[in-house]
Structure 1
Amino acid sequence: MNETPPPPPYAGRGPSRRAVLGALTAVSAAATVPLLSASPAAAAPGPCEDLLYIGTWNQNQVHAVRFDPESGTMTPLGAVAQTSSSWVTVHPHRPVLYVGGAEQGGFVRSFGIDDTTGALLQTGQIETEPVPTGSGGLSYIAPTADGGALLVADFAAGAAATVSLTADGALGEVVSSVQDTGSGPNPRQAAPHPHHVVVDPSRGFALVADFGADRVFVYDYDAPTHRLSTGADGPGSFATTPGSGPRRLVFHPDGHTVYLLSELTADLRALDWDAHTGTLTERQLLMTNAPEHTGSTSAAELAVSRDGRYVYVSNRGDNALVVFSAVRPTGLLTEIQRVPCGGVTPWSMTLHASGRWLFVANETSSTVNLFGVDPASGGLTDTGMSVAVPNPDSIAVRHCHPVAREIAGR
């Protein structure tokens, strides 16, 4: 049975600006007391365990889970922060978690991570919208590969931005902001709504998948300053099918192929990327719905294996995970597996760095489910293991750092 699709993201969901400012004051006052479950699960970790941080849709919490990558076991630690959390991500080198808020203003908050206990301590916050839009919603945030900035997709404001980070991972300032334009035929596409932003491997461009405009916008990107700009002739763009709602895009490790997933039509494109001209050219279009699909259509998340041999998609209309093999050297795709997601509404998913595990945030069923990944075949196996988290929407992994934990435990 197909589930009713989730309501339009970020539309009219934020509290008033007065309420937000009041809540921020309360958060700042409470920030000196890290939140951590008092259950036995909060005991000292094993020799080398990872920490999962999970955003919660409309629950104003971040939850933590301890994960043992050897045994594949997950131990819930409960809520470790009380804050709006439409997307979570970790610094590539520092023990810092960043949380994108769903309220007006485009807030990003930083939290120091205690690698031993999983506890969080708020260390900063920044408002990325110069003029609040009246309805909130950051749809995505992620650090650049060098850890020098955060990339921000502001669904509500129709803008993409960069926020500088200091050497220790602290939030700096809004370095740049660019405004998308356009709309689509779906009622949810009345204005531009950036859903994802990535920097290309050449570090000369930033690509923005815009759900509302049915476009992938291509902006100039200056790597030393982390600044986005429109260029002399404005941004380049790639147009998708009207009403498709581009949601996620990921580069293949070869640097020449981009995979683009659209939410409203649940289709997956393989695009050629020309880093000299900053242009995208379509090479393949596939449907991620099952052949017998009926009812609502909604694709959500996209991931590529480290070796580039496999591509993974979450399909919310079918409550399924779909696996594709990527043919070398073209990067073109062939579907090889389709499995139930283990719950309802697979909002997002995250591949473990080892390539052996896939975490799935099933938002409606309020579970994070663990799948095993066969690195040789790319196939997924439901481990049957899950943890209860209220309405999970995103998963960030803080990978084990045994030296840091040894020092912290002294």
Structure 2
Amino acid sequence: MFCAVALIALCTHTKSFVLSRKYYLLCLLVLYTLSARAQQYYLFIGSYNRDKNKDGIYIYRFNPGNGSLQQMSSISQVLNPAYLVPSASGNHVYACTEAQTPGAGSVSSFAFDPVNGKATFISSQPSGGENPVYLTEHNSRQWLAVANYTGGSTAVFPLSEDGRIGTATQVIPFNDSSLTDRQRSSHIHSCVFDPDNHFLLLPDLGADKIRCFAFDSTSSHPLQQPEIPYTATIPGSGPRHFTFHPNLPYAYCIEELSGMVSVYHYRHGRLDSLQRIAAHYKRRADIDYSGADIHISPDGSFLYASTRAAENIIVIYKIDQQKGTLTRIARQKTAGNHPRNFVIDPTGKYLLVANQMSNNVVVFERNTVTGLLKKTGNELKIPAPSCLQIKAYAL
């Protein structure tokens, strides 16, 4: 990089304009090449390995040029790392562990080296409830929030600079219920900080509520009661995953039991309902819609939602940039069974799907103009993949 910068400086002072221009273009080419090489993308895969002696976390290098993947490492001696997230710094990976283990549940941290693509275990703590299914890091990098599904609770953990997870300072259980057999108790299915990181949103599948806490990162007990503690959803809907628009004041929730996507206007912890639109295409009383995951393209133009069970599709919506509402434009079969989770890469060019029941991860190319997807032919065979995360590293 230094050589290229020096070459540009030399070009600036040369007397020959033609020679200068040739060298300048050469410099730009060199800089572009170095930049492309310096930016490294990694795919982190969590899974239900069911056995600590088997690999549970897989780490691949992702090529944003053609969507190909190269395995770098894997981690065993960790049980059911069903959901994971790389830290904002990129130096650590946090994971929900012991998912679906009766009477247990934990959160674990790993150190990650982007030079060699390897991760090593750092620490683990009880998650504060059974079956942790989702976790997220606060932008202060001092706190980790966790959603415990079976335990119906949320917990927050202090984080050290070295990635060590401290003992939970707050564990808050919920005891509500709703209409269906799967809603006899609270089931917190995700935890998402708002864009300002001032509030934590918690979709409760069991209670048909999107719960909300104010978050004070300077306090030892950061979860605090807000003015509006929850937003009720349609009875029997089962809110599951939740996301915010990257640029506009709107939020979106996929409902597992109804197979619908709800659209909200968002402001300072308050959600106001704007729209409710189907993710499913089949409509019968005996169908399990199993809405799963939801993400928005980096440019904020399209929303994607996955449904499992009878359909196994990614549903594509166009987002109205003035109103935040959705128009369903297409669906894409996921080339597998049970698309529990998916991710859009940081460039916005690819969408990768984790098909849990068919044991495969499929790479789709995304048309950034139309939002449509097409298979690239790139696919991984991974036992019971349950979570995908991609992070870019500047090397």
Q: Which TM-score band (shorter chain)? A: 0.7 to 0.9
Q: Deviations over 1:276-318 (max 9, x none)?
A: xx32111101010115677331110000122221111011131
Q: Deviations over 1:183-216 (max 9, x none)?
A: 1222121110100111222433211100111100
User: In the superposition, relative to structure 1, how do residues 282 and 354 fare at CA in structure 2: closer, same or farther (>3 Å)?
Assistant: same
Q: What does residue 212 of structure 2 align with?
A: 218
Shift of 1:108: 0.8
Q: What does residue 250 of structure 2 align with?
A: 257
Q: Deviations over 1:136-161 (max 9, x none)?
A: 31010121233222121011221112
Say whether the 8 Å CA contact 1:147–1:169 is kept in structure 2: no
Q: Deviations over 1:21-49 (max 9, x none)?
A: xxxxxxxxxxxxxxxxxxxxxxxxx8654
**Alignment RMSD (CA, Å):** 2.1
User: In the superposition, relative to structure 1, how do residues 65 and 370 fare at CA in structure 2: closer, same or farther (>3 Å)?
Assistant: same
Q: What does residue 225 of structure 2 align with?
A: 231
Higher Rg of the two aligned structures: 2
Provide structure 1 residue ranges, at least 5 long, that are not aligned to the other structure.
1-45, 403-410
Q: 1:140 aligns with which of 134, 141, 148?
A: 134
What secondary structure, in the 3-state scheme, does the structure 2 residue paired with 1:188 have?
A: helix
- Cα distance in structure 2, aligned partners of 1:187 and 1:108: 28
Shift of 1:82: 2.8
Say whether the 8 Å CA contact 1:219–1:228 is kept in structure 2: no
Q: What does residue 15 of structure 2 align with?
A: none
Shift of 1:387: 0.5
Q: Deviations over 1:359-380 (max 9, x none)?
A: 1100011001101112222221
Q: What does residue 92 of structure 1 align with?
A: 88
Percent identity, please: 26
Q: What does residue 41 of structure 1 align with?
A: none
- Cα distance in structure 1, aligned partners of 2:182 and 2:207: 10
What secondary structure, in the 3-state scheme, does the structure 1 residue paired with 2:182 have?
A: helix
Q: What does residue 281 of structure 1 align with?
A: 272
Q: 2:147 aligns with which of 144, 150, 153?
A: 153
User: In the superposition, relative to structure 1, how do residues 107 and 335 fare at CA in structure 2: closer, same or farther (>3 Å)?
Assistant: same
TM-score by length of 2: 0.83
Say whether the 8 Å CA contact 2:339–2:356 is kept in structure 1: yes
Letter in 1 for 2:249: H
Q: Is 1:67 equivalent to 2:55 in the alignment?
A: no
Q: 1:56 aligns with which of 23, 47, 67?
A: 47
Say whether the 8 Å CA contact 2:73–2:117 is kept in structure 1: no
**200-209 vs 303-312, which deviates more?**
200-209
Q: 2:162 aligns with which of 165, 168, 190?
A: 168
Q: What does residue 300 of structure 2 align with?
A: 308
- Cα distance in structure 2, aligned partners of 1:148 and 1:307: 29
Letter in 1 for 2:134: Y
User: In the superposition, relative to structure 1, how do residues 365 and 156 fare at CA in structure 2: closer, same or farther (>3 Å)?
Assistant: same
Shift of 1:118: 2.3
- Cα distance in structure 1, aligned partners of 2:69 and 2:90: 23
What secondary structure, in the 3-state scheme, does the structure 1 residue paired with 2:347 have?
A: coil
Letter in 1 for 2:91: P
Q: What does residue 332 of structure 1 align with?
A: 325
Shift of 1:77: 4.4
**91-100 vs 218-227, which deviates more?**
218-227
Q: Deviations over 1:367-410 (max 9, x none)?
A: 011011122222212112100000000012242332xxxxxxxx
**315-324 vs 57-66, which deviates more?**
57-66
Provide structure 2 residue ranges, at least 5 long, that are not aligned to the other structure.
1-36
Say whether the 8 Å CA contact 1:94–1:169 is kept in structure 2: no
What secondary structure, in the 3-state scheme, does the structure 2 residue paired with 1:157 have?
A: coil
User: In the superposition, relative to structure 1, how do residues 202 and 77 fare at CA in structure 2: closer, same or farther (>3 Å)?
Assistant: closer
User: In the superposition, relative to structure 1, how do residues 116 and 284 fare at CA in structure 2: closer, same or farther (>3 Å)?
Assistant: same
Paired residues, number: 349
Say whether the 8 Å CA contact 1:249–1:302 is kept in structure 2: yes
Q: Quick one: higher RCO (CA 8 Å, sep 6+), 1 or 2? A: 1
Q: 1:346 aligns with which of 339, 347, 350?
A: 339
Letter in 2 for 1:315: T
